[in-house]
Amino acid sequence: MMADFPSRIVIHEEGPREGFQIAERPIATHDKVRLIEALATTGVKQIDCVSYVDPRRVPGMADADVVARSIQRREGVRYTGLWLNTKGLLRALTLPLDLVGAIRVSASETFSIKNTRRNLAETLAEQREMLRLYKEHSIGLEWGYVMTAFGCNYEGEVPVPQVIRMIEHIYALAESEGMALKGIYLADTVGHATPLTIARAVGEVRNRWPDIKLGVHLHDTRGTGMANAYEALRFGVENFDSSCGGLGGCPFAAHAGAAGNVCTEDLVYLCHSMGIETGVDLHAMIQCARMAEEILGRELPGKVYKALV
């Protein structure tokens, strides 16, 4: 097919949540807040700041509530947090961050069981409960996320019909609760995607639902991250999750396969080189990556922030 590049994309900045949840040493709360506030000056309109998870499982998020309460907010920027279950959502409700409703299912049931201890039926039941809480608390529903849409470490490649089925489940769930979705994000949760699997899955979703908005959440686990982003752009995908500096990988868990999101400033550089607008100031984002490097005390995977640009 001919390339169908978008004229502009929308970036959700995932760096703080992705980076701090796996940090190999404690990061001072004020450093987390400092990075989030700097990111808010770059032009990104949504920053994922924390996750509402059990601090015994994710010690880096033990100060999530304090971080959430400390951010000096900037007009026009949404500061979000991630919840994976109703318990997390109930915690989010007590905090001053923006609440953005989502439906999250995993295309790989094995991954779902390992990650959230729920099979598909249990996940759908919990997501339904979540939708009811959204309505009860006037939280708008936005995106449906299909996690491990391009494969997982347990099941290997995930067949495209399984991704399609998950999207059907997401739409059926939203419809049965009388709620509208903004669109669908396909998430390469563990970095299994290649340009070929991007083309297959995105192509088939586009065939099936020609008009829905699409997003991708990509991890650069196997070096194909930017080629995957490029292929998604070629298919007209307009929404991207990415991480300042490529935050998210853990150097000490490297051989367990953890790697960061595609790098925000590298993605911005790529898009601008093709005349695709991002609304992000590249140089401001580079400054954030340098700040993140200084805070984490190690070189980050991003490239542009280390280069002359």
Q: Which is nearer to its own copies, 55 or 297 (CB)?
A: 297
Closer residue to its own copies in complex, CB, 88/302: 302
Give the nearest distance from C-beta 232 to its own copies in angstroms.
11
Three-state secondary structure of the chain: CCCCCCCECEEEECHHHHHHHCCCCCCCHHHHHHHHHHHCCCCCCEEEEEECCCCCCCHHHCCHHHHHHHCCCCCCCEEEEECCCHHHHHHHCCCCCECCEEEEEECCHHHHHHHHCCCHHHHHHHHHHHHHHHHHCCCCEEEEEEECCCCECCCECCCHHHHHHHHHHHHHHHHHCCCCCCEEEEECCCCCCCHHHHHHHHHHHHHHCCCCEEEEECECCCCCHHHHHHHHHHCCCCEEEEEHHHECECHHHHHHCCCCECEHHHHHHHHHHCCCECCCCHHHHHHHHHHHHHHHCCCCCCCHHHCCC
CA distances from 10 to 6, 17, 44 (A): 10, 18, 8
Residue closer to its own copies by CB (options 186, 304) is 304
Shortest distance in whole angstroms from residue 65 CB to its own copies: 33
Q: Which residue, 121 or 308, is less far from its own copies as judged by CB?
A: 308
Catalytic residue, chosen from 49, 250, 271, 288, is: 250
**Closer to its own copies at the Cβ: 46 or 242?**
242
Q: Which CB sits closer to its own copies, 164 or 270? A: 270
Nearest approach, Cβ of 290 to its own copies (angstroms)? 9
Sign, CA dihedral 92-218-144-253, equals negative
Q: In the annotation, is 250 catalytic?
A: yes
Least Å distance, CB 188 to its own copies, is: 13
- The number of beta carbons lying within 10 Å of the beta carbon of residue 99 is 17
Binding residues for its own copies, rule: CB under 8 A, are 153, 191, 194-197, 220-227, 229-231, 251, 254-257, 259, 263, 265-267, 269-270, 273-274, 299, 301-304, 306-309
CB of 160 to its own copies, least distance (A): 15
Q: How far is the CB of 29 from its own copies (least distance, A)?
A: 28
Which residues are designated catalytic?
250
